[in-house]
Structure 1
Amino acid sequence: MISILILVFIICLLLRFPIAFSLGLACLAYVLAKGVPLIILPMKLYSGIDVFVLLSIPGFILAGNLMNRGGLTEKIISFCNHLLGHIRGGLALANVGASMLFAGISGTAVSDTASIGAIMIPAMKKEGYDAGFSCAITASSSTVGPIIPPSVPMIIAATLSGLSVGRLFLAGAIPGFMLGAGLMVIAYYISRKKNYPKHDRSSLKQIGKGFIDTFWSLLMTFIILFGIIGGIFTPTEASIIAVFYALIIGVFVYKKLNFKNIQVIVLESMKTSASLMVLVGFANLFGWILITEQLPQMISNEILNFSDNKYMVLLLINLLLIFVGTFMETIAALLILFPILMKVAVAVSVDPVHFAVIAVLNLMIGLTTPPVGVCLFVSSSIGKIGIGDVSKASLPFLAVSLLVLAAVTLFPSLSLFLPGLFMD
């Protein structure tokens, strides 16, 4: 019966059905073929979303959209330009820097690519940067967002594993900054090699003004992160605080939000949140079927029978997750594979927090892996250039991302140092 589930799921994907509907139809086909009572469908779907911490996701999505539409993206980019624009290839470095700062209000890679890319890619092309390079650096830097806290994929991972959200947020900080720094290094090297332009050095007054403009977004990240870690409020409460904070800043500080565009933002956020929750619900049903058929146990046994060496197992998991992340949406991949693979990782003495960071980092890299990484498609459509050119230009950045992944995999302290420092 499990073959029916997998076959219908793959067929739906090939027919380009949305992931949530593909999961739902596959589950329906299994239930009908197995003769399971149909009442199990709504029961398992609802139980998948009846998790308190998941309520934080709509809040963070709304807060991010409010801050983004409130004019924060432009101010972040302007600040990064003042700070890095005088260096050769400064606009490319500012692109990465903006993504690292934007991570605090976005938490998703695709929204980062679309928001930052809509401004940075045309600006870089206008100043003489290759279109392929401009799109590639934008797509690659967007993967930093879901690793540096706050992070929607980390919240999902915490929900699936029972781990602390604050602990996972902290665990992603050092790997996220390592990835951002690595992308900056390769961007600078390419910019020097191709003699990309640089600007005059900004005055301290300009840098100071840029910092003040972006200070409010940095403060929101600080409030969210240290409020959760300090036990002042839960992730769900933090997301609501973030919404009210974003409203106040957008209306009274940046003065870009009004009643009309707030209505539009709320509606867009509701659509995004609803689609994500439907995906979570169907993925829970899909996962229940897999467990019923003992597929996780079979996969776990096969991997452990092949090798019980910790690093060999992690290598196999890394390869699998990057491959899956190339073709599948991040949240869906986490929901389906994370519980299965975590069981394997824990069996070879991998710390669950360390493994969560490895899993999220893998799936982020998959978003920029040629030929079908989602972020590559988004950036290529903004830059009006073929996906092949963007894929070729992204290879150096992909190599750096893989090096960071290797370092994070081999040295658990990179993920576990901050959680141990602040939460043990």
Structure 2
Amino acid sequence: MAGHAASLTVEASKAPLGIARVAVAIDRVLGGAVEAATAALVAIEVIVLGVGVVARYCFHAPLVWSDELASILFLWLSMLGAVVALRRGEHMRMTGLVSRVPPRLRALLEVFALTASIGFLLLILPHALEYAQEESFIVTPALEISNAWRAAALPTGMALMLAAGGLRLMRSGTFWPVVLAIVLTALLMLAFWLAGPVLKPLGKLNLLVFFVGVVATNVFAGVPIAFSFALATFGYLSLTTSTPMLVMVGRLDEGMSHLILLAVPLFIFLGALIEMTGMARAMIQFLASLLGHVRGGLSYVLIGAMYLVSGISGSKIADMAAIAPVLFPEMKKRGAKPGDLLALLSATGAQTETIPPSIVLITIGSVTGVSIAALFTGGMLPALVLGAALWIVVWWRYRGEDLSQLARPTAPEILKLALVAAPAIALPFVIRAAVVEGVATATEVSTIGIAYSVVAGLLIYRRFDWRRLPHMLVETASLTGAIIFIIGCATAMAWGLTQSGFSQDLAKLMAGVPGGTWGFLGVSIVAFIILGSVLEGIPAIVLFGPLMFPIAKQVGVHEVHYAMVVIFAMGIGLFAPPFGVGYYGAAAISKINPDEGLKFIWGYLLALLLGLLLVAAVPWISIGFLNS
């Protein structure tokens, strides 16, 4: 799940009157301060939750204030992380269409993506300030402080995003695209405002205007997904209803404040740790010693390594970044085509979406109320089924590979690598056991993994680069901000859809799909493949999860089984070209031209689809171990 940096990084000397030079200087100071704050917040969250686990489990003296403090700091981390993501151009967006238009139009769309985001921030900021003021009358139960300390994160983050966006415009050095984008944004907003009296009588047709038309136009124009949702929701509520915009800010707050979502930054940071400490490399070397001497062996290793690493990091981008640089050079030496490597890396990204502690699993638990422990248990076997489908394709493609010159590792060499890899391989099982056995919650268990990785890096692998920690913390904050801000905006949008009566209409429509349970699952697979390719997994599940899961239960589909089906469907869409941004993320990490993978990926996607149909048809694969 990776954001695409907008191409606005331009030399300061190109701007008239030195405006860009001044903007770069201000941005360096302001951006540095915000990044330092976000890095500190990530570190503090790890400490607070870790201390809470130790106090409760080891000393049987739970800290009543730890979760409350963690929740307050998390909203600040999310908002300031969103500032870092906007400053760096790392908010998630779809660039499939933007990258294919002529250069001049592309330059305009890149700037428009920024001016549209700034437009929303200008509209919502006064209401965010009012919301923080209203929250000042509420006192938190444990810390007994004004809730304004937490709510102030919303207007502060929005104001800093405005500053970061304005500075990006100033330092772009492109005068006319900036002017045209500002004028276009202003004209569109004015047109909608003037059309308000016409739109209001349209009733539910406005759902098509805003939640289909506005969202689709913004997404395909390259506007970040979070701001596309936010603009559509703000327009719908302000122009066609009498809802105060204070309510929209409240829904943003609600979506970003689930404590379970605190697992997102901690697992992202854990993924970076396992790469830095050499744990990922140790696992891969051991798997290579077992399978590297068979035809297509390193491809099997790639599939197995993604399965193991996904159980640690929870982030597909972190998984691919940990594995590709280790395996790809040797695979290329053995004659593997770069396009096939890219295709298989993308396919394994989709295959491992359900392996705990997947961020998508955590998000589903947060927005639908499904047990996180049940999702963690149910996700292991379905991923093996899809992995087996990929193994069949690998076997077929590499059945004629010549390995006559390759030396087979000896038993002592394999044993030595196994001993080295054992602490790393044990980590996914430690994480799962800690959640299932009740040692820690799904949020807290990441701190156990982080502590485990730090100890293993320092004492076992003797590889711990302290100089990389600040960079890792900032990267964690940026990705967290991008993800959580999407969830907040999608929550507000889902609330708007629910208030309009759309959820009831959707429930009636889906409940009436021919074929009962199987018809419902079939339609869901098609719908979530499309949603996954356009919106990515997290915004799609936040938007439609609360609507679809109750319907699934109504037609007799177990909620964990349904979760596995929709996650895999979204994963296939996410990593399927031409729209799936996960595919382009894999291309960036592997440094392979996306066009080279198009020839090879369809076989893998067909295997994944067949594996998904098997998982959908046999519920036991997803729920067979829930009572064990």
Q: Provide TM-score, normalisation by structure 1.
A: 0.94
The Cα shift of 1:58 comes to 1.7
Distance 2:352 2:464 in 1: 24
2-structure distance, mates of 1:391, 1:375:
14
Greater CA drift, 47-56 or 196-205: 196-205
Give 3-state SS (helix, strand or coil) of 2:379's partner: helix
Of 359, 364, 386, 1:152 maps to: 359
In structure 1, which of residues 364, 367, 378 is the aligned counterpart of residue 574 of structure 2? 367
Q: After TM superposition, give the deviation of residue 383 of structure 1 in Å.
A: 5.0
In structure 1, what residue type is equivalent to 2:417?
A: G
Match of 2:386 among 170, 175, 179: 179
1:136 to 331, 343, 348: 343
- The residue that corresponds to 2:451 in the other structure is 244
Any residues of structure 2 matched to 1:219-238 within 5 Å, and which? 219-238=426-445
1:162 alignment partner in structure 2? 369
Q: Which of 488, 493, 496 is residue 286 of structure 1 equivalent to?
A: 493
Given the alignment, which residue of 315, 320, 324 partners 1:117?
Answer: 324
Matched, 1:20 2:250: no
Give a deviation string over 1:298-342, Cα, whole Å, max 9, x none: 122223334251101110111111121122211111111222221
Taking the aligned partners of 1:392 and 1:54, their CA distance within structure 2 comes to 38
Q: Within the alignment, does 1:317 sit opposite 2:552 as a pair?
A: no
CA distance in 2, matches of 1:420, 1:398: 32
How far apart in 2 are the matches of 1:382 and 1:49?
29
Who is 1:31 aligned against? 237
Aligned residue number for residue 406 of structure 2: 199
Which of 91, 96, 117 is the aligned partner of 2:303? 96
Q: 1:184 to 1:200 in 2, by over 3 A?
A: farther
User: Which AA in structure 1 matches 2:270?
Assistant: A
**Residue 79 of structure 1 pairs with residue 289 of structure 2:** no
Inter-CA distance 321–248: structure 2 relative to 1 (3 Å threshold): same
Q: Which of residues 354, 358, 379 in structure 1 aligns to 2:565?
A: 358
| C-alpha distance after superposition, 1:213-243 (max 9, x if no partner) | 3222222211210111112221112112222
Are residue 268 (structure 1) and residue 475 (structure 2) matched?
yes
Asked if the contact 1:122–1:383 (Cα under 8 Å) also holds between the matched residues in 2, the reply is: no
Letter of the aligned partner of 1:3 in structure 2?
Answer: L
Q: CA deviation at 1:165?
A: 0.7
1:8 corresponds in structure 2 to 214
Cα deviation, residue 384, structure 1: 5.1
Which residue number corresponds to residue 9 of structure 2?
none
Per-residue deviation, residues 232-284 of structure 1 (Å, max 9, x unmatched): 22111211222222222223322322332112211211111122111111111
Aligned counterparts of 1:47 and 1:414: Cα–Cα separation in 2: 34
Question: What is the rounded CA distance, in whole Å, between the counterparts of 2:281 and 2:335 in structure 1?
Answer: 20
Number of residues of Structure 1 aligned to a counterpart in Structure 2: 421
Indicate conservation of the 8 Å contact 1:338/1:359, yes or no: no
Query: CA offset at residue 285 of structure 1?
Result: 0.6
2:253 to 46, 55, 74: 46
Matched residue type, 1:32: S
Equivalence for 2:92: none
2:608 alignment partner in structure 1: 401
Looking at structure 1, the residues matched to 458 and 470 of structure 2 have their Cα atoms a distance apart, in angstroms, of 13
Deviation at 1:382, TM superposition (A): 4.7
Native 8 Å contact 2:267 2:315 kept in 1:
no
Q: Which amino acid aligns with 1:204?
A: A
**CA distance, structure 2, for counterparts of residue 176 and residue 198 of structure 1:** 34
Aligned to 1:418, the other structure's residue is in SS state coil
Letter in 1 for 2:349: S
Partner of 1:212: 419
CA RMSD, Structure 1 to Structure 2 (Å): 1.9
Residues in 2 aligned to 1:141 and 1:196: alpha-carbon distance in whole angstroms: 24
Distance in 1, matches of 2:395 and 2:209, equals 50
1:420 is paired with a residue whose SS is: coil
249-258 or 24-33, which deviates more: 249-258
Which aligned runs of 4 or more in structure 1 are off by greater than 6 angstroms? none
Contact 2:378/2:560 (<8 A) preserved: yes
Alpha-carbon distance change, 2 to 171 in structure 1, aligned in 2, over 3 angstroms = same
Other-structure match for 2:533:
326
Stretch of structure 1 that moved more, 253-262 or 360-369: 253-262
Alpha-carbon separation, structure 2, partners of 1:115 and 1:197 = 29
